[in-house]
Copies of this chain bind each other. A is one copy, B any other.
């Protein structure tokens, strides 16, 4: 049969198993990590990610657009999230002297306390559920996979609204 709509190359058995496994693992893993962070330390995964970037800077103070670049988040998401974190006292805002359009986000004492409380248990859970199940070779392969796929996405059309 001749057709102009070419059939897509469907996934074969192995690919299909890998994809379903990946989706299931990811959903459950993220769900558990999020739940533990929330119940034990009252922070979400998103809160945690923001706090990690802030603590990576010596002065705990980062421009909003730089946070967005580090996290690869859309700016509206970041803006909404920072507003919520500010309301909960985890971060504070200050004006940027050199560019009046911009803003600095600073980690607060409460924010620092929150991540210092959350981090040890979080990394223990990542170990328990993830790295303790993997061989060193599997860890290397995973890093390679991530790099290759990320490289493809960088060369492919950018995610619509890059910044």
Q: Which residues of A contact B (CB under 8 A)?
A: 7-11, 14-15, 17-19, 21-22, 24-29, 31-32, 35, 72, 119-121, 123-124, 126-134, 136-153, 156, 159-160
Q: List 29 A-B contacts (CB under 8 A).
A: A8-B123, A8-B124, A9-B124, A9-B127, A11-B127, A14-B136, A17-B143, A18-B140, A18-B146, A19-B130, A21-B142, A21-B145, A21-B147, A21-B150, A24-B72, A26-B26, A27-B72, A31-B159, A35-B160, A129-B149, A129-B152, A132-B152, A133-B148, A133-B152, A134-B148, A137-B141, A138-B141, A138-B144, A141-B141
Contact A72 B148 (CB under 8 A): no
Say how far A3's CB is from chain B's closest CB, in angstroms.
Answer: 12
Contact A128 B146 (CB under 8 A): no
Asked whether A143 and B21 contact (CB < 8 A) given A8-B120, A128-B156, A152-B129, the answer is yes
